[in-house]
Copies of this chain bind each other. A is one copy, B any other.
Amino acid sequence: MDVMEFFQLSTGVWRSQRTTHHLAFKRTEAGESEIQVEALAADHAKVVEICQIHDVDPKHAIGGAFVSWHGAMGWDKDDENHEGSTVFALIPDIDQPRNGTLLRERGYAEIVPVAGQYHMDDDGGLVLTTEYETMSSIERFWFPSPSLRMRTSTVKRFGGFATATFCTEFRLGDASEVAANPEKADRSQDASEPTPATAEPAPHLSVLGW
């Protein structure tokens, strides 16, 4: 899979279940969000515009994506609003086309334009590395199946690991990849629904034991 195939497969609406491990405090924070992704062609006006913001010749872009999201994390105050959108452009390295630069309109935490490095690994994963002024992040996205996307990210602040985040993301309208029917299992919609037997804690499966 190349990087544009990754964003073409990402195109659609996704429901994200997110967990953040706050490493120094051994605390876990849960959240959910809805994400919309649209792959953009190399000649899309927004891709051209972002290249120009970053002083990059737009003819080097192979495409980009538009992403919007809304959601909430467990520790949010009422007035915090996890809504937003971003657009970015992808500029592959000339000699290593599976690596490149991701130019972004704006970062979530900082208002200045940001650029990150991307890399498509041999297992179809997209790895993004971004350096901010006082922190850095490494993220890996991959598709266990076309309708299930996963993500891990680690954030370093002042040289130490601060958080590690894991997201499982389902394509909305396609529950075919899930072992049981999520509508029936979502007890919040019908409190009288008996707990399915398979909601019992599953044994922690690992061939390594732990």
Contact = CB atoms under 8 A, between A and B. Distances in A.
A67 interface: yes
Contact of A69 (B109, B153, B209): B209
Contacts of A150: 152, 154, 164
Interface residues of A, number: 97
A97 interface: no
A179 B210 contact: no
A207 B128 contact: yes
A183 B30 CA distance: 23
Interface in A128-171: 128, 130, 132, 135, 137-139, 141, 144-145, 148, 150, 152-166, 168, 170
Interface in A1-48: 16-33, 35
Given A25-B199, A168-B164, A204 B82 contact: yes
A76 B204 contact: no
A93 B28 CA distance: 39
Given A135-B205, A154-B144, A23 B178 contact: yes
Output the residue of A22, A114, A186 with the most chain B CB within 10 A. A22
A118 to B, nearest CB: 9
Interface string A60-87: 0000010111000111100010101110
